[in-house]
C-alpha cells in the first residue's frame, strides 16, 4: 500500500499495516527531517525492520541530496541476513508498483569467514584463521613478491577483483551474503573485498555493530562512508556493552609470554633482513620520519586491525625518534612486556587510573607516554616492512601494542585493574590485567558526531531516558510504542511464591535455600505439564543454573519434567549449546515438546528467537542482575555515578530489567503469536523493577497478576491458553490492531493512533 507519512509517499509492501508501524514511521520521519538522532522503542515482533526500511528507502528516493545512505547495524549474522531479505521484499514491491527497475543498491557485509569463496581458505572454521590466511594471500607485499616469483600463492579471486572489480561495479539490486558469494563466484571476484568496496557507494549497507563501533575495524571498513547517512542500530538495548567491549582489553600472563616469543621472532627476522636487505629497513625509517599516514594509504589488505584509537584522534605527527629504528622499537616493546610481567606478579588486587599507570611506567622503566601512543601504528609498519604473512601468530604482541596505545591515549573513562587470581578460585594464581572502558559514549560519540541521524531502536529500551544518558547524546525524538492488540496475546505475570507460600527469589541470601529451589522446580513441572510445545527458562547465571539443575536432579524434579517434555540445557560450550538448541527445535517441531534451560545474558538469550511454538512460555527464574562483586563493574558504577549522576542501584536494576525483558520478549513475534511470560521472583512486583519493563509488557500486567503462587500461575496460564486456542481471524484484528489504507486515513483513527505513542 502507498502511505502518506507527513507528506512523504511511502510504499509499504503489505496490504495491511499495524497502527504502531505507521506511528513509528512518522516519528522516524520527524527525526530525519530534523537531521537529529532518536530513540524508538517498539514491541518486538511488530515489524520494526520493515517499517524502518520502507520509510528510509522512501526518504532516500525523495530527498537524494539530503540523505544518501542508510547504514543498518544489527547484532548477529542471521539478523542482518533477515534485514537484507526484508529489504529485498521491499525493493521487489517497489519494482512491481512502479514498473521499472529501482536503482537502489543494498548489500550486506560480514567477516571474511562468512564471505570467503577461496576453496582452501574458506574451509577454515575459525574467523581468525580465515582472516590470517586471507591476509597471507592478499597482502600487498605478497603480491609484489608474486610479480617476481610466480610460485608465490595468491588469491585468484582477489586478483581478479583488484584487476577489474573496481571499474565495473555491482549493478543495482539487493545482495545478501549468499548473493554476494554467488556474484563473486560468477565473476571470479572476491565477495569480501567486493562488498567492502561497494559499501562506499551503495545506498543501503547492512552490517554488524563492530564495523561501526569498534575503531579497530571501523577505521578500515567504514572510514569513507558519507556524512549524509542515517545510522540505525537495531536491537540496540545492549549497545553500551558493545561500545565498552570494543575499547577494552585484558592481558593474561600467558599472552605476555607469547608476546615475548613474538618479539624474539621479530628480532630474528630483523637480523636476517639486515643481512640480506638492509635497504628495506632504511626505507621504513625514512618513511616513519615523514609520518605514518601517507605510507599506508590505500592498502586496505595490509592492515589486519587498525589502530584501536578513534578516527578523531588520528595521529598526525611523525613517529617519535626513539622507536623509529626497528631494533629500538623491539627493545622498547620487550621493556614494556617485562614491565607488565612485573606488574602481574602481585598478591593483591590493584586498581588504578591510566594516568597513574603512565606515571609508574615512566618511573620504573622510563617509558614515556608519547612513544606508547604510537605503539600500535609502529608495529603495523614493522610487520609490513618485514613482510610477515601469518599475522595470526603475532596477535599477542599486537594485543600488547594496542593496549599501550589505548592506555596512553585515554586518561578519562578508563580503568586499570590487575587481579592476581579469579575470585572463585582464590588458590590458583592466574593474574589478569583488565584495561576496561567505563564510558560507553567514548566509542559511540564519533558516530553521533559524524552522521546526520542515528536511530537507536529495539523492542526493549525502557527506561528510554537511560540511553541518552549513558551514551551521552541529545535525541530529537524519544518514543515508546505500545502494541495494539485485538486479543491480549501476551500474558505476563509475576510468580512470587510457591504453593507452600514460601516466597521465591534469586536474592543472594536465599538463592541456596532448598525451599526456593524446590518451588522453582515445581513451577517448571507445573508449567511443563500445562503448556504445549516449547518452554524456555532463563536463569541468572550459569553457575546458578548448574547448581539448581543438580539439586533438581536430587529432588527428582528433573524426572518429573522429563515425564512431560524433553529437557535441553545451555552450556558454556557454544558447540554443545548449538546441538542442544537444534534438538530443542526438533522436539518442538515433532510435537514432543521441550524445555530449554538457558541463561540471561548468555548467547541464547542474545541471539535466538523463540517465536510461536518454540516458546509458548518463558520463565524468568530470578532477576538477572549482573555479578555485582566484579571490580570492573564496580569501577563502572562509580564512574557512572560521578560522571552521569546515575545511581548505582538505578543502573543495576535498569541493566537487570532490560535483560529480563529481552529474554521474555524473544517469545513473541507478530500479532498472531502468543506467549506466557512468567517472572519468578517476588522482587519483580516492586514498582521500581516493574516500572522499568517495556511499556508494552507493563500494560498487560494487571494488578491481579503481580503476586501469584505457583497454583495461581498455572490457573491463569491454562485460562490464557484456552483463550488463545480460539480461532483468531483477520476480521477480529481489522480496524483495531490491523489497518487497511482507508482505515488508516480516516479521521478518528488519527486520534486513536496518537494514543499508541508515548513520548518521554
Partner 1 sequence: MATSSEEVLLVLNEVRHLKRDGSLYLMTERLAWQDDGKDVFSVSHFYADIKQQKISPDGSSKIQLQILLHRGNSSKFQFVNHDGPPSQLKDRDAAKELLQQLLPRFRSRANKELEQKNKMLQNDPELFQLYKDLVVSGVMTADQFWDSRKNNNSISKDAGDCPGQGTGVSAAFLSEIQPQADGCNGVKYNLTPDIIEAIFRIYPAVKKKHLENVPNNLSEKEFWTRFFQSQYFHRDRINTGSKDLFTESAKLDEKGMKEEAAKAALNPFLDIQALTDKSLDDGYGAKTDYGRGSADQVNSSIVKRFNLHNTRVLTASENADSTSSSATNALSKLIPNSSLADKDTSHTNHVNNHNGPSTSTSAPSSSKRARLQEAISYKDLKSHSTGMGVSLKLQRTEGYYHGPMPAQAGNMVSPEEILRAVHVVQRDMHEYRSNQSKLPSRQTAASVLSELSPGGALMGGSSQQPMHTLYGNDLQQEISRMYVALSELLRHFWSCFPVSNKTLEEKLLRMNDTLQQFQSKKLIPFKESLARQHLQPNLTDHLDDLLDTAFRKFASWHSKKTGRGLT
Contact positions with partner 1 (CB under 8 A) in 112-131: 112-114, 116, 119, 122-123, 126-128, 130-131
Q: How many helices (H) and strands (E) does the chain have?
A: 34, 22
Q: Does 565 bind partner 1 (CB under 8 A)?
A: yes
CA 39 – CA 277 distance, rounded (Å) = 57
Q: How many other C-beta atoms lie within 10 A of the C-beta of residue 423?
A: 11
Segment holding 214, helix H or strand E: none
Q: Does 182 bind partner 1 (CB under 8 A)?
A: yes
Among residues 208, 408, 489, 506, the one that binds partner 1 under rule CB under 8 A:
208
Site for partner 1 in 129-168 (CB under 8 A): 130-131
Residues 593-622 touching partner 1, rule: CB under 8 A, are: 594, 599, 601-604, 606-609
17 binds partner 1 (CB under 8 A): yes
**Based on CB atoms, which residue is closest to partner 1, 32 or 80?**
80
Q: Is 726 in the site for partner 1 (CB under 8 A)?
A: no
Q: In the complex, what is the shortest distance from the CB of residue 194 to partner 1, in angstroms, rounded to a whole number?
A: 16
DSSP line for 706-734: SSEEHHHHHHHHHHHHHHHTS---HHHHB
Least distance from partner 1 to the Cβ atom of residue 15, Å: 4
Tell whether residue 215 is a contact of partner 1 (CB under 8 A): no
Residue 308 corresponds to which cell in the numbers above? 584501536
Least distance (Å) between residue 666 CB and partner 1 = 13
Residue 631 contacts partner 1 per CB under 8 A: no
Count of residues binding partner 1 (CB under 8 A)?
Answer: 123
Euclidean distance between CA atoms 743 and 146, whole angstroms: 67
Does 546 bind partner 1 (CB under 8 A)? Our answer is: yes
Tell me: does residue 525 bind partner 1 (CB under 8 A).
no
- Cell numbers placing 302: 595490509
Residue 677's alpha-carbon distances to 237, 302, 617, 672, 689, in angstroms, are 19, 50, 6, 16, 15
Query: Of the two residues 246 and 452, which places its CB atom closer to partner 1 in the complex?
Result: 246
CB neighbour burial string for 218-237, b if at least 16 within 10 angstroms, e if fewer:
bbbbbeebeebbbbbbbbbb
User: Is residue 2 near partner 1 by the rule CB under 8 A?
Assistant: no
Q: Which of residues 296-335 bind partner 1 (CB under 8 A)?
A: 305
Contact 557, 521 (CB under 8 A): yes
Strand partners for 680 = 621
Residue with cell 607488565: 340
Rounded to a whole number of angstroms, the minimum distance from the CB of residue 47 to partner 1 is: 6
> Minimum Å distance from CB 759 to partner 1?
26
Contact between 50 and partner 1 (CB under 8 A)?
A: yes
The yes or no reply on residue 78 touching partner 1 (CB under 8 A) is: yes
Residues of span 432-451 touching partner 1 by CB under 8 A = 432, 434, 436-437
- Under the binding rule (CB under 8 A), the answer on residue 89 touching partner 1 is yes
SS3 461: coil
Using rule CB under 8 A, residue 251 touches partner 1: yes
- The answer to the question of residue 29 lying near partner 1 (CB under 8 A) is no
Q: What's the CA gap between 216 and 218, in Å, rounded?
A: 6
Name which of residues 444 to 483 contact partner 1 (CB under 8 A).
none
> 105, 194, 232, 249: which one contacts partner 1 (CB under 8 A)?
249
Shortest Cβ 193–partner 1 spacing (Å): 16
Interacting residue with partner 1 among 299, 582, 719, 750 (CB under 8 A): 582
- Interatomic CA distance for residues 641 and 645, integer angstroms: 5
Binding status of residue 3 toward partner 1 by CB under 8 A? no
3-state secondary structure 462-501: CCCCHHHHHHCCCEEEEEEECCCCCCCCEEEEEEEECCCC
Pick between residue 31 and residue 51 the one whose CB is nearest to partner 1: 51
- 244 scored as a contact of partner 1 (CB under 8 A): yes
Instruction: Tally Cβ neighbours within 10 Å of residue 165.
Output: 22
d(CA 421, CA 430): 5
DSSP, collapsed to helix, strand or coil, labels residue 739 as: strand
Amino acid at each position: 500500500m502507498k502511505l502518506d507519512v507527513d507528506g512523504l509517499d511511502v510504499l509499504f509492501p503489505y496490504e495491511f499495516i499495524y497502527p504502531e508501524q505507521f506511528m513509528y514511521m512518522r516519528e522516524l520521519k520527524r527525526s530525519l527531517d530534523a537531521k537529529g538522532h532518536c530513540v524508538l522503542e517498539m514491541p518486538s515482533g511488530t515489524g520494526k525492520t520493515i517499517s524502518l526500511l520502507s520509510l528510509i528507502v522512501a526518504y532516500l528516493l525523495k530527498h537524494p541530496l539530503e540523505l544518501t545512505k542508510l547504514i543498518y547495524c544489527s547484532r548477529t549474522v542471521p539478523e542482518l541476513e533477515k534485514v537484507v531479505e526484508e529489504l529485498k521484499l521491499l525493493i521487489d514491491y517497489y519494482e512491481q508498483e512502479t514498473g521499472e527497475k529501482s536503482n537502489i543498491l543494498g548489500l550486506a557485509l560480514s567477516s571474511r569467514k562468512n564471505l570467503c569463496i577461496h576453496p582452501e581458505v574458506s574451509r577454515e572454521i575459525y574467523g581468525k584463521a580465515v582472516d590470517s590466511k586471507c591476509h597471507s594471500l592478499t597482502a600487498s607485499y605478497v603480491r609484489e613478491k608474486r610479480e617476481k616469483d610466480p610460485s608465490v600463492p595468491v588469491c585468484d579471486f582477489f586478483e581478479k577483483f583488484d584487476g577489474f572489480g573496481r571499474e565495473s561495479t555491482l549493478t543495482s539490486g539487493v545482495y545478501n551474503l549468499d548473493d554476494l558469494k554467488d556474484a563473486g563466484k560468477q565473476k571470479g571476484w572476491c565477495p569480501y573485498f567486493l562488498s567492502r568496496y561497494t559499501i562506499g557507494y551503495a545506498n543501503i549497507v547492512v552490517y554488524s555493530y563492530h564495523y561501526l563501533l569498534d575503531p579497530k575495524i571501523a577505521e578500515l571498513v567504514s572510514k569513507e562512508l558519507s556524512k549524509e547517512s542515517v545510522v540505525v542500530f537495531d536491537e540496540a538495548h545492549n549497545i553500551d556493552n558493545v561500545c565498552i567491549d570494543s575499547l577494552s582489553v585484558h592481558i593474561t600472563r600467558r599472552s605476555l609470554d607469547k608476546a615475548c616469543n613474538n618479539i624474539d621472532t621479530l628480532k630474528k627476522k630483523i637480523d636476517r633482513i639486515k643481512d640480506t636487505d638492509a635497504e628495506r629497513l632504511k626505507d621504513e625509517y625514512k618513511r616513519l620520519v615523514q609520518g605514518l599516514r601517507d605510507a599506508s594509504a590505500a592498502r586496505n589488505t595490509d592492515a589486519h586491525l587498525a589502530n584501536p584509537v578513534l578516527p578523531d584522534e588520528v595521529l598526525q605527527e611523525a613517529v617519535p625518534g626513539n622507536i623509529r629504528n626497528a631494533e629500538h622499537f623491539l627493545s622498547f616493546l620487550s621493556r614494556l612486556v617485562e614491565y607488565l610481567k612485573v606488574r602481574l606478579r602481585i598478591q593483591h588486587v590493584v586498581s588504578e587510573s591510566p594516568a597513574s599507570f603512565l606515571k609508574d611506567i615512566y618511573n620504573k622503566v622510563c617509558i614515556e607516554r608519547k612513544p606508547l601512543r604510537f605503539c600500535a601504528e609502529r608495529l603495523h609498519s614493522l610487520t609490513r616492512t618485514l613482510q610477515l604473512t601469518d599475522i595470526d601468530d603475532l596477535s599477542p604482541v599486537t594485543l600488547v601494542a594496542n593496549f599501550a596505545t589505548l592506555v596512553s591515549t585515554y586518561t578519562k573513562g578508563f580503568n586499570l585493574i590487575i587481579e592476581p587470581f579469579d575470585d572463585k578460585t582464590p588458590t590458583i594464581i592466574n593474574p589478569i590485567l583488565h584495561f576496561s572502558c567505563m564510558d560507553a559514549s567514548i566509542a559511540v560519540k564519533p558516530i553521533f558526531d559524524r552522521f546526520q541521524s542515528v536511530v537507536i531502536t529495539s523492542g526493549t529500551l525502557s527506561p528510554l531516558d537511560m540511553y541518552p544518558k549513558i551514551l551521552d547524546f541529545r535525541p530529537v525524538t524519544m518514543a515508546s510504542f505500545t502494541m495494539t492488540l485485538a486479543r491480549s496475546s501476551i500474558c505476563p505475570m509475576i510468580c512470587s511464591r510457591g504453593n507452600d507460600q514460601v516466597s521465591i527469589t534469586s536474592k543472594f541470601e536465599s538463592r541456596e535455600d532448598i525451599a526456593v529451589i524446590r518451588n522453582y522446580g515445581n513451577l517448571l513441572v507445573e508449567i511443563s505439564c500445562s503448556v504445549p510445545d516449547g518452554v524456555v527458562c532463563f536463569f541468572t547465571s550459569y553457575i546458578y543454573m548448574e547448581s539448581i539443575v543438580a539439586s533438581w536432579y536430587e529432588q527428582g524434579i528433573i524426572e518429573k519434567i522429563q515425564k512431560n517434555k524433553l529437557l535441553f540445557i545451555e552450556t558454556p560450550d557454544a558447540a554443545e549449546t548449538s546441538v542442544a538448541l537444534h534438538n530443542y527445535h526438533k522436539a518442538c517441531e515433532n510435537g514432543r515438546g521441550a524445555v530449554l534451560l538457558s541463561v540471561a545474558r548468555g548467547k541464547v538469550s542474545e541471539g535466538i528467537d523463540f517465536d510461536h511454538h518454540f516458546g509458548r512460555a518463558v520463565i524468568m527464574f530470578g532477576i538477572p542482575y549482573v555479578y555485582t562483586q566484579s571490580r570492573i563493574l564496580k569501577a563502572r558504577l562509580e564512574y557512572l555515578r560521578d560522571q552521569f549522576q546515575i545511581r548505582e542501584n538505578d543502573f543495576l536494576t535498569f541493566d537487570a530489567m532490560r535483560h529480563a525483558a529481552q529474554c521474555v520478549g524473544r517469545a513473541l513475534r507478530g500479532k498472531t503469536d502468543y506467549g506466557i511470560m512468567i517472572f519468578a521472583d517476588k522482587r519483580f512486583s516492586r514498582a521500581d523493577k516493574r516500572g522499568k519493563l517495556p511499556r508494552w509488557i507493563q500494560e498487560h500486567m494487571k494488578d491481579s497478576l503481580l503476586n501469584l503462587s505457583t497454583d495461581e500461575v498455572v490457573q491463569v496460564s491454562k485460562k490464557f491458553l484456552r483463550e488463545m486456542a480460539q480461532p483468531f481471524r483477520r476480521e477480529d484484528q481489522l480496524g483495531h490492531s490491523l489497518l487497511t489504507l482507508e482505515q488508516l486515513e480516516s479521521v478518528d483513527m488519527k486520534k486513536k493512533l496518537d494514543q499508541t505513542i508515548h513520548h518521554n
